[in-house]
A and B are shown apart, each in its own frame.
Chain A
Amino acid sequence: MEISGAELVIRLLERQGIEFICGIPGGSNLPIYDVLRDSSIKHILARHEQGAGFMSQGMARTTGKAAVCMATSGPGVTNLLTAIADASLDSIPIVAITGQVSASLIGTDAFQEVDTYGLSIPITKHNFLVQSAKDLLTVIPEAFRLAESGRPGPVVVDIPKNVQKEMVEFESYPEIGIKQPLPMCNEKYLEKAVAMISGARRPVIYAGGGIIAAGATDDLIRFAHKNSIPVVTTLMGLGAYPHGDPHYLGMLGMHGERATNMIMEEADLLIALGVRFDDRAVGKSCEFCKHADILHIDIDRSEIGKIKPSNFSIVGDVGHALKAFADRVEPSIRIGWSARVSSLRMLHPEILPDKEDFFHPMNLLRVTSESLSEQSIITTDVGQHQMWVAKGYPFKKPRTLLTSGGLGTMGFGLPNAIGAALANPDRRVVCVSGDGSILMNIQELATLAEHHLNVKVLIMNNNRLGLVRQQQAMFFEERYFASTFDSSPDFVAIAKGFGVPAFDLSEEENPSLFLRKLLGQDGPCVINIPIDFDNKVLPMVPPECANREMIGG
């Protein structure tokens, strides 16, 4: 058969099982859009390419399958870069297909020309500049295989316009790109790891996003229960272990609970599973769990010893390791260690705000969680509200929290919520944001209105860049600068202007009942919630300090 490169791209994406493409057309990807018009794939027209990138992330983060975004050359690509870098740091599988100027114009500073290949090298798992339409037969399936296999990540496929228009003749379509089986852990190493765990007196499980990527939640629970081991998770690991379980100690690190970080100080074995010892989690790395041996298991060999040397490590599927641990460890109640953990938790209880203070973010989140099911999806932006969600929202299932862990991108929440709602039409999605973050991708309210999705946006509004202000208060002797907004937008009017129903919770007689009612309704809405700007996220470990040096709480 003979078809154009553009048609080949779309046919290969259809065969790949892609349901949605989020993107924006422009001069250099119009041939692809011309074919997409008649495709079974539904196109979601974002209002900014970064929004398109984050929508595809919302699909990928909730389903675990690679999702697709598109942009044209030049500014389309530069706008997309933040979402790609974000996916890279959080190991999220997306395939970004970008238009490029025709090959004869590359290097001439043509209109809307930018070096997509060069710009995307440091922020992708891999990137391709397609030289001929025939190459698409291998590149497109390969892009999906790469994005989903091993440690997932973003892949960019840059396609010059002449390649999109070029006719290509081929016999049959290639096999679709599928996730390769994960490498198994070495049997002898697993035996040794089990012996280490059995020999430890004060073990702690440190679980990260790798558990979620591996789908290993059930075996993690079985392992922790059978051997009575306390579990901490990273920000990316929230949902990998159910909140409320007696062994669960919540998130560790910069905004972990005091008891959690103190318990880790006393550990003699740290079982690090699908984690990368990020500085927000471990603080000053040479001081982290100083008295513990480290058993590190990860799919990515370069993470072993990158930040902190381990006493023993296994490179392979953490799901395989957890199944082996859960099967092979002897049941134990670890009476001494369990008692010590309980007493540290009693000694340093989580400090909660007065329940009557309805407009405290922690109380707002409690009411929110009571109004939703454990399958509901929460997305956040970045700042104080994000940390309040991490601390205060009782995540019980994997892939229910979508948050920008590695890159910390403000503007992440709304487009991710849209992507999550598209891929999960029967689930409720709540985007918890702040008045600083929401402005960074607020244009996507137009996309939300257009598709009338089940997304509720809660804007915790302190008219400040709250976490910046908090750091100025705590570490810069209250020299506040550039953290307070002089003008405060009317978010209710703005949302209504976009065609999204909107409310101000402070104007309601019974805000708690009103919030519950709104969260129970179908369709989109924006809820502005004024909060006190003096609220702080505590405890907090000062940047570059040891976790035991936390302040407050």
Chain B
Amino acid sequence: MHNYGIDLLVRNHAGVMSQITGLFSRRNFNLEGIICGPVGKGDESRMILTVADDSKLEQIVLQLEKLYDVIEVKRVEDSPLTEVLAQL
């Protein structure tokens, strides 16, 4: 299955993962994979999400951009995470 990657830069705090995954469940978006870790001095995190190829991708990105904790959203076509997930 083809997966689309979304690369997020977020504020790093205890609740940020809930903010992101909460958006997906609240809006009935399908989240296939997620990988996350702190970057820089630790006050920011990078999250890479994969979502199934569906028509909601545009709306997912727009909703993610509205979140206070989200600093940057990028769509990536060939996410290295797809390969990681395939090995699980």
Contacts and interface: CB of A to CB of B under 8 A. Distances in A.
A126 B15 CA distance: 11
B58 A305 contact: yes
A300 B68 CA distance: 14
Contact of B18 (A117, A126, A302, A305): A117
A301 interface: yes
Interface stretch (B2-10, B35-43, B59-67): B59-67
B64 to A, nearest CB: 9
Interface string B49-88: 0000000001100110111100000000000000000000
Contacts of A517: none
Contacts of A125: 68
A298 to B, nearest CB: 12
A302 B62 contact: yes
A463 B77 CA distance: 59
A118 B18 contact: yes
Contacts of A300: 66
A306 B59 CA distance: 7
Contacts of B59: 302, 305-306
A192 B63 CA distance: 27
Interface in A116-139: 117-118, 121-122, 125-127, 129
Contacts of B67: 126
A129 B15 contact: yes
B42 to A, nearest CB: 15
Contacts of B14: 129
A121 B66 contact: no
Contacts of A126: 67-68
Contacts of B25: 122
A302 B66 contact: yes
A525 interface: no
A306 B62 CA distance: 10
Most chain B CB atoms below 10 A, which of A121, A129, A146: A121
Nearest to B15: A117
B88 to A, nearest CB: 27
A122 B19 CA distance: 8
Interface string A306-324: 1000000000000000000
Nearest to A122: B26
A122 B15 contact: no
Contacts of A122: 22-23, 25-26
B68 A302 contact: no
Contact of B68 (A146, A301, A306): A146
B22 A302 contact: no
B15 to A, nearest CB: 5
A138 to B, nearest CB: 12
Most chain B CB atoms below 10 A, which of A126, A127, A300, A302: A302
B27 to A, nearest CB: 9
Contacts of B22: 118, 121-122
Most chain A CB atoms below 10 A, which of B26, B65, B66: B66
B59 to A, nearest CB: 6
Nearest to A124: B68
A247 to B, nearest CB: 33
A301 B58 CA distance: 11
A206 B62 CA distance: 23
Nearest to B67: A126
A121 B18 contact: yes
A301 B62 contact: yes
Most chain A CB atoms below 10 A, which of B22, B23, B59, B62: B62
Contacts of B19: 121
A247 B63 CA distance: 36
A129 B15 CA distance: 8
A306 B61 CA distance: 12
Contacts of A117: 15, 18
Contacts of B58: 305
Contacts of B15: 117-118, 121, 127, 129
Nearest to B27: A122
A127 B19 CA distance: 9
Interface in A434-490: none
B54 to A, nearest CB: 15
Contacts of A121: 15, 18-19, 22, 26
B26 A301 contact: no
Given A121-B19, A302-B66, 13 more contacts: A118-B18, A118-B22, A121-B15, A121-B18, A122-B23, A122-B25, A126-B68, A127-B15, A129-B15, A300-B66, A302-B59, A302-B65, A305-B59
Q: Which 8 pairs across A and B sit closest by C-beta, in order of nearness?
A: A302-B62, A122-B26, A121-B22, A126-B68, A302-B63, A117-B15, A122-B22, A301-B62
Interface of A: 117-118, 121-122, 125-127, 129, 146, 300-302, 305-306
8 contacts: A117-B15, A121-B19, A126-B68, A127-B15, A129-B15, A300-B66, A301-B65, A305-B59
